Structure formats: structure tokens, C-alpha cells
Amino acid sequence: MGTVAAFKVLRNEGPSAAYVNGVTDGQSARAGGNALTLYLQVGLDDYAKGFRAGFFGQMRLTETLDRR
């Protein structure tokens, strides 16, 4: 007998909670004059990406790839 697998449809419903938290923390860090740690400079998870976007003021929360 074969294996049956169920597939979930992934929907892009906006930025993740981690990204939004990172943006907020990045904006606060920039306002406070804090430096970036190594993790925040090179991290590839949503929080680190959001932190850099907030820190450097490059937020594009609603833009999608097909709009560019």
C-alpha cells in the first residue's frame, strides 16, 4: 500500500508576529542609539529581518514580489 499525505495550502496573510516584533524593537533600538549585535546583523529568521527593517527604516510590510 502507498502512503497518503495531506497537503496544507500556505497563505501569505502578511508579516509574521516575529517580524512585527523585530520591526518594533529595531525602531526602539535606533531611537536609543543602540548598536546591532552579530545575530541582528546576519540573522536570517523573521525577527532579525524585521529588526533590521525597523532599525534602518526600510519597512515594506505590504509590498509583494509581483509589485516590484
| Of 46, 43, 40, 56, nearest in space to 19 by CA | 46
Q: What is the pLDDT of residue 59?
A: 62
pTM of this prediction exceeds 0.75? no
Say what the pLDDT of residue 11 is: 73
pLDDT of residue 68: 46
**Contact (CB, 8 A) for 50 and 61:** no
Contact 47, 22 (CB under 8 A): yes
pLDDT tens for 15-67 read: 899 999 999 999 999 999 999 999 999 999 999 999 999 999 876 655 544 54
